[in-house]
Chain A
Amino acid sequence: AQKITQTQPGMFVQEKEAVTLDCTYDTSDPSYGLFWYKQPSSGEMIFLIYQGSYDQQNATEGRYSLNFQKARKSANLVISASQLGDSAMYFCAMRERTGANNLFFGTGTRLTVIP
């Protein structure tokens, strides 16, 4: 079974509007971390935001916030006040505390910001 599922291959958003990128995960590990990365056309993976499974509050980092719904196993990324520079691929990832310590990545969502 897929550990990370991103169901939106592509999303469009008007500049200055907010957009939500969906991510659901699957794990039986009680302790895990969830990450969002941005990959512009240059290829590098830019870390955006982290949410721990035991964190009581949703993570926020500037214009990025993570809508963490543990019971539904979802960790959606919300980008507020979209900018043209936000156009990129966005990957959701998870790391489980037990077992291997690598990241499991979703298939990504390509976000296009329209001027």
Chain B
Amino acid sequence: GAVVSQHPSRVICKSGTSVKIECRSLDFQATTMFWYRQFPKKSLMLMATSNEGSKATYEQGVEKDKFLINHASLTLSTLTVTSAHPEDSSFYICSAEATGKGTDTQYFGPGTRLTVL
């Protein structure tokens, strides 16, 4: 199956700092990547859709200036949480869409657990 990596897996930072999370598709190209947020014992909430070479599409209620997304290549998308605050603490998980075979299956990275002190 397709492999998606995410880095870092865990980060602890002070309030007010910015944190960058990388999502890479290792063995396939992904024109579209997705960023999700998951609260404890809850389902995944889509934050934004990242398209290579164009601006990300944000879901309603997600601040685009706070959650900066860059999809610079067909294998890399980054999410930067700017001026992080304790309420931004969460599990962030990305997925990449592997096209072809008619399934358009999304493969997920292992996630990043962000803790803001």
Query: Taking the nearest CB of chain B, how far is it from the CB of A39, in angstroms?
Result: 9
Please give, as numbers and ranges, the residues of chain A lying within 8 Å of B1 by CB-CB distance: 47
- Residues 1-50 of B at the A interface (beta carbon under 8 Å): 1, 32, 34, 42-44, 46, 49
Q: How far is the CA of A42 from the CA of B111 in the complex (A)?
A: 9
Query: Taking the nearest CB of chain B, how far is it from the CB of A21, in angstroms?
Result: 14
Chain B: interface residue total (CB-CB under 8 A): 24
- Which listed residue, A50, A101, A108, touches B97 by the CB 8 Å rule? A101
Given contacts A91-B43, A101-B49, A107-B43, contact A45 B104 (CB under 8 A): no
Tell me the interface secondary structure of chain B in the complex: strand
Given contacts A102-B34, A105-B43, contact A44 B109 (CB under 8 A): yes
A4 — nearest CB in chain B belongs to which residue? B43
How many chain A residues sit at the interface, stated as a range, is 20 to 34
Please give, as numbers and ranges, the residues of chain B lying within 8 Å of A103 by CB-CB distance: 34, 44, 46, 95, 106
Please give, as numbers and ranges, the residues of chain B lying within 8 Å of A35 by CB-CB distance: 105-106
Interface hub of A45, A91, A100 (most chain B Cβ within 10 A): A45
Which B residues fall within an 8 A CB radius of A?
1, 32, 34, 42-44, 46, 49, 57, 91, 93, 95, 97, 102-111, 113
Q: Show 22 residue pairs from A and B whose CB-CB distance is below 8 angstroms, ordered by the A residue.
A: A37-B108, A43-B111, A43-B113, A44-B93, A45-B44, A46-B108, A47-B106, A47-B107, A47-B108, A50-B103, A52-B102, A95-B104, A100-B57, A101-B49, A101-B97, A101-B104, A102-B49, A103-B46, A103-B95, A103-B106, A105-B43, A105-B44
Which A residues fall within an 8 A CB radius of B?
33, 35, 37, 42-47, 50, 52, 91, 95, 100-103, 105-108
Which 10 pairs between the two chains have the least Cβ-Cβ distance?
Answer: A45-B108, A44-B110, A43-B111, A105-B43, A105-B44, A50-B103, A107-B43, A102-B46, A108-B43, A50-B105
